[in-house]
Chain A
Amino acid sequence: MTATMTPRPVGQRAGRDGFLQLVHAEWTKFRTVRSWVTGMAVTALLVVLVALLAGVSSDQKGSPPVPVGPGGEPVTDSYFLVHQPLAGDGSVTVSVSALESSIPKGPGDLRPGIVPWAKAGLIIKESTRQGSSYAAIMATGSHGVRMQDDYVNDTAGLPGQVSAESPRWLRLDRSGDTITGYASTDGTKWTKVGTAQVSGLGSTVQVGLFVASPPAVEGLGTAGSVSKAVFGDLRLQGGWTGGEWTGEQLGADSPTFAGYPDNGSGSFTQSGGRFTVTGAGDIAPAVRETLPTGGTLRDILTGTFAALITVIVVGALFITTEYRNNMIHLTLAASPRRSRVLVAKAIVLGAVTFVAGLAGAVLAVPLGERLARANGVYIFPVASSTELRVALGTAALLATASILALSVGTIFRHSAGAVTTVLVAIVLPYILTAIPFMPASVANWLAKVTPAAAFAVQQTLVRYDQVASHYTPYNGYYPLPPWAGFAVLAGYAVASLAVAAVLLNRRDA
């Protein structure tokens, strides 16, 4: 046995290739500058403070409740319904020979127009209570026949628009909780469109004709529309009580209902088997435009923008101060492998920012939500996994932005230019998307290719194909999935870090 002794300089700790020591050195550098540590604390504080501001400043106490569908999501449940009860199983058949929509072109000036998701058809609904379960089959403005149930489910049927020459026959069969929808072009040859399992209908349900007409998406805004449908050949089978048809506007006071345009109102007329029904509104999940007063986690985390400033300033200063007083010479003398210095700085900065951002987000979200709810604000619901993703994503966004600032600072060796470049690259695209002139295509393009794409990590809203809306970043809908959006920012950070490393190696310090 021979004892071997490895000489090691006094007081030096073991670290693989010394890289850990390098990270340790950079951490010591960071924490010993008081203003940087303060900057990180301010980062977390800004996220929390803005959340408090958003919560406190909102006051919607006493506003009517937002209808919530069976799945817990906010819904629009406002349309004109002509209905009567059905006890037990049964079926209903009707023809739709016209569906015409009108859109205002000026105050009180209604002109015929196309509302793609105007709906006219049959519905079987648990009750007229807002948000109750249902299944429906309908002709639409330009999406053909659809079978929909419980607000979020949508199945396509026969294509084409309805007219007097080309009517559609629609049928709903109820058997317990199973509702089957059929469509036909002649009233004799039926095609099954879909089957819906609608739980909790109860034995007696409301059955009837409905006409919905969601706001038309025009240019940069929306315009409330109204639609008129002509129904005929109404036939009933099963446990009908033989009551009268009752017409009413459902959900007239709902916050998700935009109301009728001037000179428009809901009505129905009946002559024999022929019904003419006029209605507005929609039966669909609510989106941001139909529920503009609703809050999202993104709104609560708006402080991220303010936090970006401190993070970017500290990130840029972490390297540019070394250049300004030539400390970079000492740093590079201590660790001649320059790219490793840069990576060590990025790791320290990224980790510190991530922790600060996460602390801010984790505190801000529940605080903001609680305050907003206490003031009567409806918050779009999110799964707890989504909430975790938003918090982690916000922290990662801030950390990556700081690394981007570090890299650009290394490239420029100049703090004002670096701070402006990074801040403008991340924030300006967002501001531009919020300008009312910006077409959705441009906004979405900006949110795909610029570092601002990373704000997708804060998206909690769900996009629905069966609801026409401006699904723009401004409204909280990003063109990329959350982590893909983050990857765009990360790509910029990695690319500029690589450029910075090359320049750091090549240039004289």
Chain B
Amino acid sequence: MSLALHAEWTKMRTVASPLWLLLGTVAATVALGAGATSVVNCTANGCGGDTTKLSLMGVYLGQALVAILAVLIISGEYSSGMIRTTLTAVPRRATVFAAKAVTLTGVVAVAGTAAVLGSVLAGRLILPDLGDRALSLSDGPTLRAVFGTVLYLILIGLLSLGVATAVRDSATSIGVVLGLLYIVPIISQTISDPDWQRLLEKIAPMSAGLAIQVTTDLDSLPISPWAGLGVTAGWAAAALLAGGLLLRRRDA
């Protein structure tokens, strides 16, 4: 396993695109969050909303770049045929898959932490001084939102890796992933039955997972923050399981 891990890490650092995608994730996340905080109107009473969630809004965009990275890790090998070289070097396919997942988790954790801390810092600089509590890592809910958002990005990466391993084609994989993330919430809005709508918000990977960012009005959430992140984790686990099983069963 450690050898496979070393190989995957070497693979990742010997091409340029993962680094650019990770830097892009940080830049996109911070930029969109900063943009969102700079347009909000704040008064002495506050900013009329959840400033933590607002500052972290960039993950809506950042997650797309994480998804590309995760998809390319596997579909890039399928499109070139290099997957056969990989599986010849490490015949235990579960080991290859786990090594890829661990490598991805590592790099997304680093980039995600940078992106999230950058967003919070940008929020603190842009928003007027809101007292000690807001956007401070010493505040429990804010810390949970920050930490949880990094976990969320990792889970989106793993979800994408699983989908891409099952689907193999990069364009189709990214379509499936972005569809799950972006389109399901939009479609849930057409459902006028509020119970159904709430249910969809509870089970969709993005809307449930991003509950982790909410620091105010927790009672109005369809799902509690950690349970929501758990739903996203469930999606990631299901995708990894499906991808892993198919990788083991199919001819390479």
Contacts and interface: CB of A to CB of B under 8 A. Distances in A.
Interface in B189-204: 189-193, 196
Interface stretch (A208-216, A335-343, A350-358, A426-434): A426-434
A54 B187 CA distance: 8
B175 A310 contact: yes
Contact of A416 (B50, B75, B182): B75
Interface string B153-184: 00000000000000001111111101100110
Interface string B22-42: 000000000000001001110
A310 to B, nearest CB: 7
Given A53-B190, A302-B190, A309-B175, A423 B182 contact: yes
B57 interface: yes
B99 interface: no
Question: Which secondary structure dominates chain B's binding surface?
Answer: helix
B54 interface: yes
B185 interface: yes
Nearest to B40: A437
Given A57-B196, A423-B175, A424-B61, A437 B49 contact: yes
Contacts of B50: 437
A310 B176 CA distance: 9
Interface stretch (A179-187, A313-321, A460-468, A501-509): A313-321
B64 interface: yes
B67 interface: yes
Contacts of B185: 431
Contacts of A320: 171
Contacts of B135: none
A417 interface: yes
A431 B186 CA distance: 8
A419 B176 CA distance: 11
B48 A313 contact: no
B79 interface: yes
Contacts of A233: none
A306 B191 CA distance: 15
A442 B49 CA distance: 16
A220 B179 contact: no
Nearest to A442: B39
A310 B172 CA distance: 8
Interface centre among A317, A320, A324, A417 (most CB of B within 10 A): A417
Contacts of B179: 306, 309
A219 B182 contact: no
Interface residues of B, number: 41
Secondary structure of the A contact surface, majority rule: helix
A481 interface: no
A455 to B, nearest CB: 11
A181 B98 CA distance: 79
B71 interface: yes
A21 interface: no
Given A415-B171, A419-B175, A435 B57 contact: yes
A436 interface: yes
Nearest to A54: B190
Given A53-B190, A302-B186, A302-B189, A313 B39 contact: no
A439 interface: yes
B120 interface: no
Interface string A219-234: 1100000000000000
Contacts of B176: 309
A416 B48 contact: no
A156 to B, nearest CB: 30
Contact of B187 (A58, A59, A306, A377): A306
A420 B160 CA distance: 13
B72 interface: yes
Contacts of B117: none
B226 to A, nearest CB: 22
Given A427-B183, A436-B49, A54 B191 contact: yes
Nearest to A60: B192
A431 B41 contact: no
A58 B191 contact: yes
Nearest to B37: A437
A303 interface: yes
Interface string B98-121: 000000000000000000000000
Nearest to A474: B189
Contacts of A303: 187
Nearest to B193: A57
Nearest to B36: A437
Given A324-B79, A437-B49, A416 B186 contact: no
B57 A427 contact: no
Given A312-B175, A415-B169, A420-B67, 8 more contacts: A58-B192, A220-B49, A313-B174, A416-B75, A417-B68, A423-B178, A424-B64, A437-B57
Interface of B: 36, 39-41, 48-50, 53-54, 57, 60-61, 64-65, 67-68, 71-72, 75, 79, 169-176, 178-179, 182-183, 185-187, 189-193, 196
10 contacts: A53-B187, A53-B190, A303-B187, A317-B169, A415-B171, A416-B170, A420-B65, A420-B174, A432-B60, A437-B40
The 10 tightest CB contacts between A and B, nearest first, are: A415-B171, A58-B192, A54-B190, A416-B170, A313-B175, A57-B191, A302-B190, A309-B175, A309-B179, A416-B174
